[in-house]
Amino acid sequence: MFIQIQEPDTLSGPDKSGAAIGIDLGTTHTVVAFVENGIPKTLDLGNGPLLPSVVTYGSGDQTIKFSSFKRHMEEPSLKIKGLKTPVELSGKILQHAKETAEKILGFPVHQAVITVPAYFDDTARQATKDAAHLAGLKVLRLINEPTAAALSYGLDHGVEGIYAIYDLGGGTFDISLLKMTKGVFQVLATAGDTHLGGDDIDQAIVEYWQKGGDSSASLNAARLAKENLTLTPDQLDPLTKPFIDRTLAICQQALSDANLNVKDIKGVVLVGGSTRLRAVRQAVEAFFESTPLTNLDPDQVVALGAALQAHALTQGGDTLLLDVTPLSLGIETMGGLVEKIIPRNTPIPAVISQEFTTYQPGQTAIKIHVIQGDRELVTDCRSLAEFILEGIPPLPAGVARIEVTFSLDADGLLTVKAQEKTTEIYQTVTVKPSYGLTLEDLETMLQQSFLCGEEDLQKRLAIESQLRPVRNL
């Protein structure tokens, strides 16, 4: 039996007040889809289903590609090229997609399910919702791109097992491992590279031509040659191999993170236009020892899944989506140590509580310092927020009981609540930091947590040996 997650602020029953679309806000293209008579279809946004993720200002000399500001969605106040913030630029693209969809469908559209990369943190997800608000769209749900791809292939209809979602787009690469059990999607692990995609292959083709004496070679010509297969396999395969090998190394990392091996993978879904390349498909098939699913257009598969989820949320549906948090979440404890409350790759939504106490006699207030990261020391992690819980009864050290609850909703937004148990006083904070991680920082944090794991553990043990055995806050 399938069940449906309801957002905290939504009605208990299906919302049939208006239609909802699915939007894949991609790095190079944006795709919109709608479910009609139970079948998801992409919409022609003017020149086919792929709307270039480009915003032009003024007389046309100020053109900004989404790839240049999607990386900055975690920094919503940053002005790209001194013109607009990432939220404003994203809002323009979403507004155009909304208005075009309304013209095609013939009725107003006020709701949408929008897809985001699995590695987007709290700030980037909130920024995406803010952009949708600017465009006049209510976000029914943000879902991770690999989850949407799995939905479009119908993996929610009783096909149980672990699936790999291999997503090689124009500017980024992502691999996600999804487990399907009794109608429940769970993301077991994600990994990726924000500077690896089809654009790199295009650049390699240009350099290949230039070495052959063609000084007029351009990226656009390279892209057309790649897509139209005008290069022979003997010419193209050596150019693509270094990039494909990098994607497979990342796939292996994801398998290791999930404590899985290739034999555990039941199927592979290909996402992104670059997966049309013969060399990519052959390499993926050889690595996973399984023929990838290629029935659907890899450029449209994410939007189709988003449309299915939008239809389910407005017309009634029965699929439970469980995504994961890409980095651990916790608080600072005595000695500058990190106490993880929601570990990395925990399925969301999640609500986890843990009790702490005071470390000074008569202490009447404590500082809650919310941390993101997988290192052992606060100095090596990212600070999300701080707040003070006051009004604690002046008790002996170690007597007061403070319950700290982390609530991570389906959109990946974090609310932290600290409550003193006897007086029931509490303080809460919803994490929407002004400046978030860049995608490069996220990758670095994960890599450093692996590389420095043993060293960090020794540092933690040394600090703990100097502290009281009772865990203090």
Per the model's pLDDT, the better-predicted residue between 274 and 160 turns out to be 274
Per the model's pLDDT, the better-predicted residue between 242 and 145 turns out to be 242
- The domains of the chain are located at 1-153+296-322, 158-294, 329-466
Lowest mean per-residue pLDDT among 56-70, 217-231, 270-284: 56-70
Structure tokens at 428: 């809460």
Fold of domain 158-294 = Nucleotidyltransferase; domain 5 (3.30.420)
- Confirm or reject CATH 2.60.34.10 for domain 329-466, answering yes or no: yes
Q: What is d(CA 79, CA 77) in angstroms, rounded to the nearest whole number?
A: 6
Q: Which amino acid is at 67?
A: S
Calculate the CA 205 to chain-centre distance.
30
pLDDT in tens, 260-292: 999 999 999 999 988 999 999 999 999 999 999
Q: What is d(CA 10, CA 409) in angstroms, rounded to the nearest whole number?
A: 13
Count of alpha carbons within 13 Å of 89, Cβ hemisphere only? 31
Q: Considering the chain, what is the average pLDDT of its residues?
A: 80
Looking at domain 1-153+296-322, what is its CATH homologous superfamily? ATPase, nucleotide binding domain (3.30.420.40)
Band of the pLDDT at 165, cuts 50, 70, 90? very high
pLDDT in tens, 99-130: 999 999 999 999 999 998 877 777 788 888 88
**Confidence (pLDDT) at 198:** 86
Regarding pTM above 0.85, the answer is: no
Lowest mean per-residue pLDDT among 14-28, 77-91, 165-179, 233-247: 77-91
Structure tokens at 278: 């013969």
With CA atoms as reference, report the closest residue to 429 among 350, 377, 367: 367
With CA atoms as reference, report the closest residue to 343 among 357, 321, 324: 324
Whether residue 217 is predicted with pLDDT greater than 70 in this model: the reply is yes
With CA atoms as reference, report the closest residue to 186 among 2, 412, 345: 345
**Confidence (pLDDT) at 82:** 43
Q: What is d(CA 222, CA 227) in angstroms, rounded to the nearest whole number?
A: 9
**Confidence (pLDDT) at 346:** 79
Three-class DSSP labels, the chain? CCCCCCCCCCCCCCCCCCCEEEEEECCCEEEEEEEECCEEEECCCCCCCCEECEEEECCCCEEEEHHHCHHHCCCCCCCECCCECHHHHHHHHHHHHHHHHHHHHCCCCCEEEEEECCCCCHHHHHHHHHHHHHCCCEEEEEEEHHHHHHHHCCCCCCCCEEEEEEEECCCCEEEEEEEEECCEEEEEEEEEECCCCHHHHHHHHHHHHHHCCCCCCCHHHHHHHHHCCCCCHHHHHHHHHHHHHHHHHHHHHHHHHCCCCHHHEEEEEEECHHHHCHHHHHHHHHHHCCCCECCCCCCCHHHHHHHHHHHHHHHCCCCEEEEECCCCEEEEECCCEEEEEECCCCEECEEEEEEECCCCCCCCEEEEEEEECCCCEHHHCEEEEEEEEECCCCCCCCCCCEEEEEEECCCCCEEEEEEECCCCCEEEEECCCCCCCCHHHHHHHHHHHHHCHHHHHHHHHHHHHHCCCCCCC
**Confidence (pLDDT) at 157:** 61
Residue 365: CB atoms within 10 Å: 10
pLDDT in tens, 378-410: 888 888 888 888 888 888 888 888 899 998 876
Check for a shared fold between 1-153+296-322 and 158-294: yes
**Confidence (pLDDT) at 448:** 80
pLDDT in tens, 180-189: 875 666 778 8
Band of the pLDDT at 73, cuts 50, 70, 90? very low
Q: What is d(CA 418, CA 89) in angstroms, rounded to the nearest whole number?
A: 37
Active-site residue set: 24, 84, 145, 167
Structure tokens at 118: 């699995």
Q: Please identify which residue in the block is written with the tokens 């290069």.
A: 231
